Chain A
Amino acid sequence: MIQMFHVSKTYPKDVVALSDITLHIQKGEFVFLCGPSGAGKTTLLRLIFRDELPTDGQILVNGRNVVRLRESKLPALRRSIGVIFQDFKLLMDRTVYDNLHLVTRVLGIPETISRRKIGRLLKEVGLLQKADQIPYSLSGGEQQRVAIARALVSDPAILLADEPTGNLDPDLALDVMRLLAEVNIRGTTVVVATHNPKLVAEMGHHTLILKQGRLVEEIP
């Protein structure tokens, strides 16, 4: 599903974020991307949905060469990937519903279907009662779940989660992980970046460990 071949990413002023990464993530897998802050986890995720281009190497996502993807094909790639951002990227002045609705509008989903779909997703993450609230009035955990629901609106083949448990207490973190596991069971390939080794140990999935931009260990 996701393949990288000798991928490197260097930011201006010779800041090396990733160097010579080669990896293979199978379709339907649940993969942890592990490592301390600054190891390059976020950069690696951003390369997958082409928010960034690598300095070197090739990336295949769902059979598409992301590096050589034409501008016009970019929306299709992004629609096949759901992303849960570390900072959530929720619109704080819109309701929870509107935050999800933004995506269905971009996807051109008809209003009646969109309403049903958003309702179902909010129910799944346990926020149906809070659909009309603005994210600002929600707790961190609730905001996290809005971000998850939004990432799932497009029924993505791949779900990327950047530190989805970053600032949650352990109980909530486990809830979120269970939610992601459920998504995975339904066939979505899930990649979770985290610096929380305990979580990784508890779940016991395919794990890639990054350190200073290098892939130092792989636990199958």
Chain B
Amino acid sequence: MLWERFRHLLGETFLNFRRGGWGVIASIGAIAIAFLVTGIFLLLTLNLSTVVARWAEDFQVVVFLDDTITKKQRTLVQKRLDGEMAVRDVTYLSKKEALADFRRKIRGQESLLEGLKTNPLPASFQLRIREQYQTADVLGHLAASLKRMEGIEDVLYGQEWVERLTSLIEVMKILGIVIGGVLGVASLFIVANTIRMAVYARAQEIEIMRLVGATRAYIQIPLILEGTLQGGLGAALALGLLYALFRGTLWQLGTTASMIFAGTELTQFLEAEYRMAMVGLGALLGGVGSLVAVRRFLKV
């Protein structure tokens, strides 16, 4: 009995699917487009977030010291920095080390440095900032107060960049949600319409089933499952397209990308949870769409 029921459900669902023809293709296509566009935003946002997070993590505030700084002053500065809440750790880089560092960075072109009689590079403290303090506001204050200390020449920080990118990500997130939402609602209506057509196409059969004593669920569930299947397939199709697009873009960019985003990997596709969530959401969308159609157009 239960098995018969189950078989009926699956059979009906696939039968509707086959009979649906273009309507079904339109439904799946609409959901695929909605999810593809949303997916592009999601993918960009996620990857950009990773890049920015890494930049932010790597980012150091650099405190350049005056060449004339006394040992006592330096100790004072060091103590001050050690006591700073925002600072996770402090590394001292002497003039000598700075030069050696620089030499390493320009390897192959060390000749540039040959004419130098004195070391032009200042000693510095390299600060790592705790995550919760990585805002332009906090760092701006820190820099300003440090600059007032004796023996400090300058304080550099690039938080502004991180902030700018972060707000760009925020904008993209909102844009993605809005566009995805609009397209999602649109595709919900398209699914609803396809199911409505299925209801009309099968009006006579449904009426007969009703008259010979079919329960409401018996008639409705296959139709709702059909919408769910359309939604899930649409989202899965979108994932496939998104992956192709992602691979294609990486291939086009080739090595340029790895240069721009030095040290970060822009080869991150949506993780399994996101993929499952997308297909699940697609199925839900399709299910709700057909539920709406069934409630409105199916008189049982």
Contacts and interface: CB of A to CB of B under 8 A. Distances in A.
A106 B218 contact: yes
B211 interface: yes
A205 interface: no
Contacts of B4: 105, 108-111
A154 B8 contact: no
Given A89-B204, A91-B205, A102-B205, A110 B212 contact: no
Contacts, number: 49
Interface in A68-114: 71-72, 74-79, 83, 89, 91, 102-103, 105-111
B150 interface: no
B208 A91 contact: yes
A106 B5 contact: no
B204 A76 contact: no
A51 interface: yes
B95 to A, nearest CB: 88
Interface in B174-216: 204-205, 207-216
B1 A79 contact: no
A111 B5 CA distance: 11
A108 B212 contact: no
Nearest to A110: B4
A103 B215 CA distance: 12
A30 interface: no
A49 B209 contact: no
Interface in B207-237: 207-216, 218
Contacts of A106: 209, 212-214, 218
A140 to B, nearest CB: 18
Interface residues of A, number: 25
Interface size class of B (residues with CB under 8 A): 10 to 19
A107 B5 CA distance: 10
A51 B212 contact: no
B209 to A, nearest CB: 5
A110 B4 CA distance: 7
Contacts of A110: 1, 4
Given A105-B8, A110-B4, A79 B204 contact: no
Given A108-B1, A110-B4, A111-B4, A75 B215 contact: yes
Given A89-B204, A89-B208, A108 B213 contact: no
B159 to A, nearest CB: 65
Contacts of B208: 89, 91, 102
A89 B210 CA distance: 12
- Top 9 nearest A-B pairs (CB, nearest first) are A78-B213, A79-B213, A75-B213, A106-B214, A75-B215, A103-B212, A106-B209, A106-B212, A108-B1
Interface of A: 49, 51, 71-72, 74-79, 83, 89, 91, 102-103, 105-111, 150, 153-154
Interface of B: 1, 4-5, 8, 204-205, 207-216, 218
8 contacts: A75-B215, A89-B207, A91-B204, A102-B212, A107-B212, A107-B213, A110-B1, A111-B4
Given A83-B211, A108-B1, 20 more contacts: A49-B211, A75-B213, A76-B213, A78-B212, A78-B213, A89-B204, A89-B207, A89-B208, A91-B204, A91-B208, A102-B205, A102-B209, A105-B4, A106-B209, A107-B212, A107-B213, A108-B4, A109-B4, A110-B1, A153-B212
